[in-house]
Amino acid sequence: MAPNLPPKAPLEHSQSVAGSPAAHEEEHHYRSGPLRWLLTTNHKEIGTLYLIFSLSMFLIGGVMALVVRLELFQPGLQMVQPEFFNQMTTMHGLIMVFGAVMPAFVGLANWMVPLQIGAPDMALPRLNNFSFWLLPIAFTLLLATLLMPGGGPNFGWTFYAPLSTTYAPPSTTFFIFALHMAGISSILGAINIIATILNLRAPGMRLMDMTLFVWTWLITAFLLIAVMPVLAGVITMMLLDINFGTSFFNAAGGGDPVLFQHLFWFFGHPEVYIMILPAFGIVSVIVPTFARKRLFGYASMVYATASIAILSFLVWAHHMFAVGLPLVAELFFMYTTMLIAVPTGVKVFNWITTLFRGSITFETPMLFALAFIVLFTIGGFSGLMLAIAPADFQYHDTYFVVAHFHYVLVPGAVFSIMAAVYYWLPKWTGHYPDERIGRWHFWLSVIGVNLLFFPMHFAGLAGMPRRIPDYALQFADFNMASSIGGFLFGFSQLLFVWVIVKCVRGGAKAPAKAWEGASDLEWTLPSPAPLHTFETPPDLRGFKFH
Amino acid sequence: MRKMLVLAALMASVTGLSRAARAAGWNMPVGVTEVSRDVYGLHMVIFWICVIIGVIVFGIMFYSLFRYRRSKGAQAAHFHEHTTVEVFWTAIPLLILVAMAIPATATLKDMYDASEAELDVMVTGHQWRWHYHYMGEDITFFSNLDTPREQIDGTAEKGENYLLEVDQPLVLPVGRKVRLLMTSSDVIHSWWVPDLAVKKDAVPGFVNEAWTRIDEPGIYRGQCAELCGKDHAFMPVVVQAMEQEAFDTWLAERKQEAAAAASGVDREWKLEELVERGEKVYGSICASCHQADGQGTPPTFPALAGNQAMMDDLDWHIDVVVNGVSGSAMAAFSGTLNPVDLAAVITYERNAWGNETGDVVQPAEIQALIDP
């Protein structure tokens, strides 16, 4: 499985479309020092900021997960008290969802959407700067709640009322403020991506000519704009309940705790697709490259993505099967949830048919993309099982659910992000990432992640509820295996950091077209991509896409 | 070093998994009710459907990865769409799903039909214990975790039913349809017994319905399934199912005990009597938040030891315990504790941990307050 790095790919139409490199030199009068990063409006620099931020949050959230796994290594309370344990599970979820996965995808979009559609930058560069810098402020505030009297958020990342209102620690108001800022950042980022894709495509590039990564992000951005305001609404209602004496969710005042869950999951279910649709896009770009074969069923991929996005608004109450919904509602949400398996299946079938009769090599990005297909599908299977409402009464709120959503989020979304980083690092840095360390990182991650999450299926079926710091003795072996896997997976990520640092500092030089089978527009630009690209849009009229 | 780490992890996982294999409990329990067997059946059908699809899909995938390696000289084909195939793999999963939805719908309808129950039990979630009320029988009691603190802290060996044992289980008759009405006095809890395939959220302000008909006498254990605060892991559910005659005997005994426990409202109680009884009530009800030493965990749960506001104002103290504090975690206990227990615990709080007020609250005073 030697990497098949092409010796020197010819620059196709980059020289004609990207302007001559010499023309840029005199324009480079940007600031130096820290202010440059604070004030930058360049999509590549902001993309880099997003990715570095996301990686830091991934490591911080990961350490919190390791605290959880350490406590759960054996039955009994050894390391932490339940109060702190609950803060760790809550913060781990919030940081991974809002601080690691979402900003990583936004960072990738910042870097790659303009390059893949032939745009000089994002449509709204100053807004872009603002949406990034909201995030470090929001998450500094969120992390600071851990040091406040009464501790940080301890009610789970789903923060169900009234545990998160009447019964919450005093720091909850800060948590709400932090989440508002992260939400504004997401909405502004989404507006920017939509404006960029709809307005700045190179002449001749129609919507159905765009790469799947751009398509999935366009759809994701619409999801974000639709549901982030709902989240903002629900946390504002919490704010009013906590500080202004309202009773939206307080039963004693005539309020309705179940309303909270409806609002939260009306945001929350599209949110989980926000975290997976761009992953679909990444895999749909990487698999054809290393199979050296066009993506099978491009149009059906686009339609499947759109179907999943529309269905995502109609399934939210499957998170609430045990909350006491009427029978008709249970049936409706069971059927719509099962229906999601159809477009998702289409995607998996298309990827596999793309592999079929290809000419396949196994560089690190491809390894992560292939692991994504297998392990995400396993997460999809357990999702289908969870859709069966009568059986869900047994699965609900157990480790079976924890196994399910970690399979779609970790070897799903996170692996796709890693695949994307390995895939595009040559374009970003001009160097290939170290293939040997990359492979170590991949195999240790795959083994670790399965040892971590697969036993959770059994623990859940055997009856272990989620979010508990201590458990009955029959769950001990599963938890020990999970904890070992967790530490293996966690420490393997240091290799990821090492690969990235090494690649930024040097390595085998990458040509413009770093991967032999790559065909998208970014590979027509030199590696590393200069700070300003496509200032004159490439003329793609008459260009044969895909 | 890295190799050793991998090796150690692999060995640990293999030994861990083989030990787990020997122990029972890798799968959902079949359970002891008709509904739980139906649910188990659905679970296994959908599981095998997933397995079959997985074997086919991953089989083709790994075949392609192996067969079409470029290192073996594979040349890429050029096809990239095929309408018939795409329609086929949209339609087939749809048909499988319809076939799956039919039995699932039937079971769900059955689970929702709580009509014609022969016994109603009101289940109320509290932070962090369950309260049971046999409707129409005048029997109510709390069901507290019975695992000693030493086992949790690791200073004593853990028992067989570690964290799944309670002081008083919910006792139900076998062969009779029992309706469970769920609600909560504070946050959302979820009452779950896997062997009965019953899991229903207990939501404040709502009364949810579930039902069960247990086939075999026995003890069935479960836990609260919805995160409900710090002691979420420590509020198990234990159901003891017994034959009808044994159940009737138990019911009669419980009624007598309840009458004895509530008696004495009218007589004059001595300080020592109340403190002794109050200490027990405090230990099982109040200590989970305010701590056994009365120090609480401020700012969420205030300290009672040395609490000057509480010691200065007796009427306020009584009001807080009896009626709760609106908008806070302090629940009203007038509905769940009898007047003697209320008077005892208030007296205890005013005379424990150096709170030397000497105040004695008589059960009759509380009775007059609750039921004027």
Q: What would the pLDDT profile of A324-336 be if each residue is shown by its tens digit?
A: 999 999 999 999 9
Positions of A annotated as catalytic residues are 92, 121, 157, 185-186, 269, 271, 273, 284, 318-319, 344, 347, 466
C-alpha B253/C-alpha A180 separation (Å) is 57
Choose the closest CB to B16 out of A258, A342, A480.
Answer: A480
What is the SS3 string spanning A387-426?
Answer: HCHHHHHHHCCEHHHHHHHHHHHHHHHHHHHHHHHHHHHH
- Which of the four pLDDT bands, split at 50, 70 and 90, describes residue B370? confident
Residues B198 and B225: their CA atoms lie apart, in Å, by: 11
Task: Give the confidence band of B368 by pLDDT, cuts at 50, 70, 90.
Answer: confident
Instruction: Please state which CATH class domain B271-370 belongs to.
Output: mainly alpha
Q: Residue A15 — pLDDT band, cuts 50, 70, 90?
A: very low
A21 confidence band (pLDDT: 50, 70, 90): very low
**Best residue in B65, B219, B289, B325 for a mutation probing chain A (most A CBs within 10 Å):** B65
Instruction: Please report the sign of the dihedral spanned by the C-alpha atoms of residue A288, residue A292, residue A293, residue A294.
Output: positive
Measured distance CA(A387)–CA(A304) in Å, rounded = 19
Question: How many beta carbons lie within 10 A of that of residue B207, not counting itself?
Answer: 14
Query: A32-36, A237-241, A290-294: which has the minimum mean pLDDT?
Result: A32-36
* Domains along chain A with CATH numbers: 37-524 (1.20.210.10)
User: What pLDDT shows up at residue B24?
Assistant: 58
CA distance A229 to A224: 9
Give the side-chain half-sphere CA count within 13 A for A503.
27
The 10 Å Cβ neighbour count of residue B248 is 12
Judged by average pLDDT, the poorest of A151-165, A186-200, B99-113, B246-260 is B246-260
H/E element holding B122? strand B119-126
What are the chain A neighbours of B154 within 8 Å (beta carbons)?
A: 76-78
Chain A CB contacts of B20 under 8 Å are: 455, 458, 477-478, 481
By the 10 Å C-beta count (0-12 exposed, 13-18 middle, 19+ buried), A381 is classed as buried
Per-residue pLDDT at A274 exceeds 90:
yes
At A422-439, the pLDDT tens digits run 999 999 999 999 999 999
Cis bond before residue A34 (omega within 30° of 0): no
Classify domain B26-112 by CATH number.
1.10.287.90
What is the signed CA dihedral for A338, A342, A344, A345, rounded to 10 degrees?
120
- Residue B39, token pair as written in the block: 């649910």
Q: What is the mean pLDDT of chain A?
A: 92
What pLDDT is stored for residue B1 in this prediction? Answer: 45
Task: Kindly state which CATH superfamily the domain B119-262 is placed in.
Answer: Cupredoxins -  blue copper proteins (2.60.40.420)
Query: What radius of gyration, in Å, describes the C-alpha atoms of chain B?
Result: 28
C-alpha to C-alpha distance for B333 and B335, rounded to whole angstroms: 5
A463 contacts chain B (CB < 8 A): yes
Task: Flag whether pLDDT at A272 surpasses 70.
Answer: yes
Question: Which residue type sits at A472?
Answer: A
| Residue-range domain boundaries for chain B | 26-112, 119-262, 271-370
Nearest to A397 by CA among A79, A74, A93, A158: A158
Q: B27-39: per-residue pLDDT in tens? A: 999 999 999 999 9
d(CA B361, CA A470): 39
- Indicate yes or no: CB of B230 within 8 angstroms of CB of A154: yes
Q: Can you give the pLDDT at residue B224?
A: 96
Residues 6+ apart with CB under 8 A from A97: A157, A271, A275
Per-residue pLDDT at B211 exceeds 80: yes
Query: Is the confidence at residue B81, as pLDDT, over 90?
Result: no
Say which residue, A288 or B262, is predicted with more confidence: A288
- Counting one residue from chain A and one from chain B, the pairs whose CB atoms sit within 8 A come to 328
DSSP element (H, E) containing B236: strand B236-242
Inter-residue contact A143 to A64 (CB < 8 Å)? no
Interface subset of A 242-301, CB within 8 angstroms of B: 245, 250-253, 255-258, 291-300
Q: How far apart are CA B346 and CA B349, in angstroms?
A: 5
**Nearest-neighbour CA in chain A from B213: distance (Å):** 16
Rounded to 5 degrees, what angle do the CA atoms A138, A139, A141 make?
70
Over pLDDT 90: what percentage of chain A?
A: 90
Residues in contact with B318: Cβ distance below 8 Å, sequence separation at least 6, in sequence order: B346, B361, B365, B366, B369
Helix (H/G/I), strand (E/B), else coil: A297: coil
Chain-chain contact of A473 with B160 (C-beta, under 8 angstroms): yes
Q: What is the pLDDT of residue B340?
A: 87
Specify the DSSP class assigned to residue A166.
T
ipTM of the complex model: 0.89
A334–B101 CB contact, under 8 Å: yes
- Minimum-distance CB partner of B101 among A338, A370, A458: A338
Beta-ladder partners of B172: B241
Longest dimension (CA), chain A: 72
Question: Which whole number is the average pLDDT over A471-476?
Answer: 94
Q: How confident is the model at residue B358 (pLDDT cuts 50, 70, 90)?
A: confident
pLDDT in tens, A80-97: 999 999 999 999 999 999
Query: Measured at the alpha carbon of residue A310, what is the angle toward residues A306 and A313, in degrees to the nearest 5?
Result: 150
